[in-house]
Each structure stands twice: as C-alpha cells, then as structure tokens.
C-alpha cells in the first residue's frame, strides 16, 4: 500500500519534519479515497493522528482526526467496512476526543460529525465523552453528554455531586439534581432518572440518605415523583396532587413547570395544554426536548445537536435561593 510514500513518511518522522509528514498522510488519504479502501483509510488516519498528537503536533493531529470523522460520516455506511469491531472504533474515537485540545474548535467539530453517524452507538460514545469532560472539570458539557449516554447512573451521580460541591451555592444542593432528573424524565429515560437520583442523594455529603424525608421539599418531591411513575402510571390525579402539594418548591426554577407538563403527558396521561403562538423560551426548549424524544425518524441525531445548543445557551445560572424547609 503506497510503500514508497509510507517509507518517506517514516523518514520524515525520524527527521522531525512533522509538517511534511502531515502532508504525506493527506496525500495517501486522497489516493485511498479514490480506491475506496475504507479499512485502510481508517487505519491510516487513526494511527496518523495518534502519532502526530504524541509528537505534540496538535493542529496536524486534529486535522487527521477530523478527516477520519468526516470519512466515517460521509463515505462509510457500516462499521463492517472498517474491518473493526464497533467497540474498538468507539474506543478509538474516545481516545482521539481526549487528545484534541479541550478549548479548540476542532474538538467541537469532531463531536458534531460523530454524533451524526447512524451506524455507531452514540450512547456509548457519549458516555466516553462525558467521562473525559468530567476529568477536565468541564461539568456543564459532561452533564449534557451523560444525559444521552449509556451510563447506568453511577458515574453521572458522582459527577453531579462534584459539580454541585465545587461550582454551585451550598443551598442549591437540590436544584442540581432536580434539573437533571426532570430533563431525563422528559426524554423517557426513567431508569436513569431513578438511578441518578438515588446515587446523588445517597452519596452527596450534605444529604447521605436514600429515602424520605429528605433535607428539602424539592428532594422529597423528586422522590415521590419517581415512585409515582413506578406505582401509579397513567394516574393524572396522583400527579396533579403531588404538583399542588409542592407548588412552592417547584416555583424556585421557572423551567420546572414546562418540564412537568411534558412529564405529566408522558407518564400520567395529563392532557396537553394549548399554548399561544408566541410561547416562551423554556416552553420552546422543553418542547424541543420532548419532540426529539418522541421522533423515531432519521433526524434524531440532528435534533439532539439542536437541543444541545438550545439548552446550553438558555439554561439560567444558579442563584442563591433560600432553601424552603417547610
């Protein structure tokens, strides 16, 4: 396979001429594209990117990583074309993600391309992304990837605890978990909501409990909501009573009302309320999440990307509310 160019490539690495080595990688890549040698393209670009990253050539390594992501998206239709096991491919993509500079636009572009690929397990890939971002203390982005990941809830709960302890007000111990649980319920992942809630309350140093009564009414509400979904599915009266009892606590964040409207429809057969044509920021955000979850068509990944952009830009910063202990 292009033996002379490969020998020249190795010579350039030996000489420390990494710019020329990068150009040779691109030359071989375009020749392989014309020959439709997809497995060789994969090996060339992955190994080349790793090799350049290991030499400190961040820009060149990221360029090959992006070429690989673009090839996986636009030129390959099945992982079998790569002569690689899917798990290995996902591990390799996670490795490249970790090597691309955290603040670089190339990392965002790399993720954007990968999340559009339909023949790979995005939930597993997102879990790897979330864990890398967590290790970098990028809690906000880690949280977003955990939301759609294959994590069983254990890692996510620990990340949220660290996020809350290091970045939020002490009195907001319940707000951190409430937003996540309600969002997860909106995308119909009840099991993840259950696991993350109990992992968070059991391990958070200010809670250390897995059953009510908890230290704040909002935590009690979340516990009873999860229990109601398990025990009283389709019972709108139970849901409405629960929301009425904890109305004061639910007013602490303006987006809860919209989350709960969707949750009521999904789990308790609550009739959908008709909104005027104007709507509001949170109403539109939650409807975006709900529509994304309900749609099983070919645009799921793009909808997730659109929602990510919306929720990242519109989520209100935490504020110092007085905890209601009534």
Tens-digit pLDDT profile for residues 88-129: 999 999 999 999 999 999 999 999 999 999 999 999 999 999
Asked whether the predicted pLDDT for residue 27 surpasses 80, the reply is: yes
> pTM here?
0.82
Q: What is the pLDDT of residue 296?
A: 42
Least confident of 50-64, 108-122, 200-214, 312-326: 312-326
Confidence of residue 274 (pLDDT cuts 50, 70, 90): low
Structure tokens at 102: 């955290």
Asked whether the predicted pLDDT for residue 309 surpasses 60, the reply is: no
Write the pLDDT tens digit of every residue in 37-80.
Answer: 999 999 999 999 999 999 999 999 999 999 999 999 999 999 99
Higher pLDDT, 309 or 144: 144
Q: What is the pLDDT of residue 272?
A: 81
Least confident of 190-199, 268-277, 309-318: 309-318
Q: Domains of the chain (ranges plus CATH)? A: 1-120 (1.25.40.10), 137-326 (1.25.40.10)
3-state secondary structure the chain: CCHHHHHHHHHHHHHCCHHHHHHHHHHHHHHHHHCCCHHHHHHHHHHHHHHHHHCCCHHHHHHHHHHHHHHHHHCCCCHHHHCCCHHHHHHHHHHHHHHCCCCCHHHHHHHHHHCCCCCCCHHHHHHHHHHHHHHCCCHHHHHHHHHCCCCCCHHHHHHHHHHHHHHCCHHHHHHHHHHHHHHHHHCCCHHHHHHHHHHHHHHCCCCCCCCCCCCCHHHHHHHHHHHHHHHCCCCHHHHHHHHHHCHHHHCCCCCHHHHHHHHHHHHHCCCCCCCCCCCCHHHHHHHHHHHHHHCCCCCHHHHHHHHHHHHHHHCCCCCCCCCCCC
Share of the chain above pLDDT 90, in %: 80
Asked whether the predicted pLDDT for residue 211 surpasses 70, the reply is: yes
What CA–CA distance (Å, rounded) separates 210 from 204?
10
Least confident of 100-109, 191-200, 286-295: 286-295
Q: What is the pLDDT of residue 294?
A: 45
């Amino acid at each position: 396979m292009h033996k002379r160019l490969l020998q020249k490539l190795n010579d350039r690495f030996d000489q420390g001429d990494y710019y020329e080595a990068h150009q040779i990688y691109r030359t071989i890549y375009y020749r392989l594209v014309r020959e439709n040698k997809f497995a060789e393209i994969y090996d060339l670009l992955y190994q080349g990117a790793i090799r350049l990253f290991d030499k400190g050539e961040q820009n060149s390594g990221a360029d090959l990583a992006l070429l690989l992501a673009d090839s996986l998206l636009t030129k390959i239709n099945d992982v079998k074309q790569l002569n690689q096991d899917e798990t290995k491919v996902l591990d390799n993509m996670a490795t490249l993600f970790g090597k691309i500079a955290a603040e670089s636009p190339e990392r965002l572009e790399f993720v954007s391309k990968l999340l559009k690929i339909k023949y790979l397990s995005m939930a597993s890939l997102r879990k790897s992304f979330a864990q890398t971002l967590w290790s970098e203390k990028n809690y906000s982005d880690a949280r977003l990837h955990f939301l759609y990941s294959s994590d069983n809830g254990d890692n996510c709960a620990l990340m949220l605890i660290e996020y809350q302890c290091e970045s939020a007000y002490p009195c907001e111990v319940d707000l951190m978990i409430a937003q996540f649980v309600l969002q997860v319920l909106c995308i119909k992942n009840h099991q993840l909501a259950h696991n993350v809630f109990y992992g968070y309350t059991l391990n958070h140093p200010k809670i250390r409990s897995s059953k009510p009564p908890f230290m704040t009414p909002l935590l009690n509400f979340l516990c009873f909501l999860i229990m109601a979904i398990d025990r009283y599915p389709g019972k709108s009266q139970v849901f409405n009573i629960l929301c009425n009892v904890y109305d004061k606590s639910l007013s602490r964040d303006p987006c809860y009302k919209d989350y709960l409207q969707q949750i009521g429809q999904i789990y308790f057969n609550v009739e959908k309320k008709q909104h005027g044509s104007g709507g509001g920021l949170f109403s539109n955000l939650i409807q975006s999440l709900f529509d994304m979850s309900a749609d099983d068509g070919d645009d799921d990944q793009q909808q997730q990307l659109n929602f990510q952009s919306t929720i990242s830009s519109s989520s209100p910063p935490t504020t110092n509310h007085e905890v209601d202990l009534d």
